Amino acid sequence: MKLIRILVALFILILVTGAPAETAPKKFNVLFIAVDDLTTALGCYDRPGAITPRMDGFAKTAVRFDHAYCQFPLCNPSRTSLLSGYRPDKTHIYGNGKPIRKVYPDIVTLPQLFKNNGYFSGRVGKMYHYGVPYDIGTSGLDDVPSWTQVVNPRGRDRDLEPDIINFTPDNKNIGASLTWQESPGTDAEQTDGKVAAEAIKMLEAHKDTPFFLGIGFYRPHVPDIATSNWFDLHPLDTIQLPKEPNHVKDIPPMALTVKPANYGLPEEKLRVFKRAYFAATSFVDQQIGKVLDALHRLNLDDNTVVVLWSDHGWCLGEHGQWQKMLLFEESARVVLMIRTPGNKANGKVSERPVELVDLYPTLADLCGLTPPSGLEGYSLRPLLDNPKAKWDKPAFTQVTRNKEAIMGRSVRTEKYRYTEWNAGKDGVELYDQEKDPKEYHNLAKDPKYAKVVAKLSPLLIKENKPK
C-alpha cells in the first residue's frame, strides 16, 4: 500500500511538473494601410465612383465608419496629426514642408509606441508625407525613430513623367493639378505594384513576431496613373459630373479654391480626368487585395488588427471644386475601416462622427499599450464593440487660406456641418446633413437655424490665424 501511495504521488508530480507552462496571450499585430488622396467615391460608401471590389469586400469584414473625418485636408498636416495624436493647432503644421520633430523633438509617434514595446515596426511607401510624384523612391519627410525598417519603392510611373497629360498647365506642379496617364507596362512595374510586393515580403519575413506594418499607397494622388485594363474598367460614357442647382452664390468665396469653377475646362476633359482618378483607385484597390490575401495565406487574420484609411477626401467636381484643401464633405470625409480579430461587430457600419486623430489611442487600447499623455483623440473601441453606441463627440476639420494667414474651421455632428471662415468674418456655412447631404443649401443666415448656429459656433476655436 505504501508503495502504491509513492507511485501515485510520483505520477502526480510528473503530471504537474511535466505540464507545459501556460503561454501568455499573443500580442495583436497591426496592418496599417494608407491610401493617398482617396475620397469616399467607392462601392462600399454612398457615392457612385470607382469599382473597388477588394475594399468593398474588406468592408464586409470590418467596422466601416461612415462619417470619419480628417483634421486637415492636406497630406502632411493630416498624416502628422494622425501619427502624432495631436491636432494641427498643437502640431503647428499647416503645410507640406515641416516634419513633426521640428516641433516636438522627443515625441513618441504611433508606430514608435509599438516599436518601443517590442514590435517590429516597418514601413513600405508613403506613411508620413512625401511630395508626390517627385519624392517617390525617397523617404520624403519620414520619421526615422518610428521604424525598424523602411522600403521606398519606385516604379516606371515615376520615370515616365514627361509623358503625363496636364489639363491645368498653368500649374506646373503635376502633383497638384489635373494630371493623368494611361501607363504602359504591367501593374507590377508601377510604384504601387511594388508597394504591395514589398509589403508582402515584409509580412512573410516578420509573420512570427509582433509587428506594426505601415503600408502607404501613392495613388490616386495626382498624377493619376494606371495601366490600360483599369481604364477599360471605367468606360468614358459611364463617367458623369455632378448635376447641381445654382447654389454656389450662397457659399462664402473663401470656401472655394477652384476659380473659375471646374477650372473653366470643358466637360469632356473633366470626365476624362475623373475616369483616370477612378482607374487609379481601382488599380490601388487590387494592390490592397494582394496584401490582404497574403495576410490570410500566412494565417495572420486571427491575430492582426487591420486599419484601412485615407488621409483626406478629394472633390471631383462638387460645387465646381476639384482636389483638396476644402471643408466640404467630399474633401473632409475619409475612408476608415477597422477589422479587429473576433469582433462580432465586424461587417457593420457606424454612423457616429469620428476623426483620424482617434486612431492613435484606439490602436494603443486594442493592443494593450500605454500611450503617451496628451493625445487629443479618443479610443474608438466602444464603437468597435457596438457601432451604434452613444457617442457625443463631434469631428473637427480645419484649413488655411492666404498663405496660412487665415483659418477656416468646421465642426461635423451627426446632423450638421458648421463652418466659419476667419472666425466668421469671411463667411459662415451651415448644412443639414440629413436633408441636404450634398451641401447645396447654406442655412447659416436662416433665422430658423439661429439656435443651431448658437450651439455649434462655440465649439470652434476662434483665432483667425493659426497658432
Active-site residue list: 75, 129
Rounded to an integer, what distance in angstroms lies between the CA atom of residue 97 and that of residue 337?
Answer: 29
Neighbours of 116 (CB within 10 A): 13
Question: What angle is formed at CA 281 by the lines to CA 276 and CA 286, rounded to 5 degrees?
Answer: 130
Instruction: Tell me if 461 sits within 8 A of 409, measured CB to CB.
Output: yes
Task: Report the half-sphere exposure of 228 (CA within 13 A, side-chain side).
Answer: 2
Cell of 313: 477626401
Instruction: Tell me if 93 sits within 8 A of 184, measured CB to CB.
Output: no
- Compute φ and ψ for 101, nearest 5 degrees: -75, -10
Q: Which residues of 309-342 are buried (b: 16+ CB within 10 A; e: fewer)?
A: bbbbbbbbbbbbbbbbbbbbbbbbbbbbbbbbee
Rounded to an integer, what distance in angstroms lies between the CA atom of residue 380 and that of residue 414?
Answer: 16
Question: What angle is formed at CA 342 by the lines to CA 341 and CA 347, rounded to 5 degrees?
Answer: 90
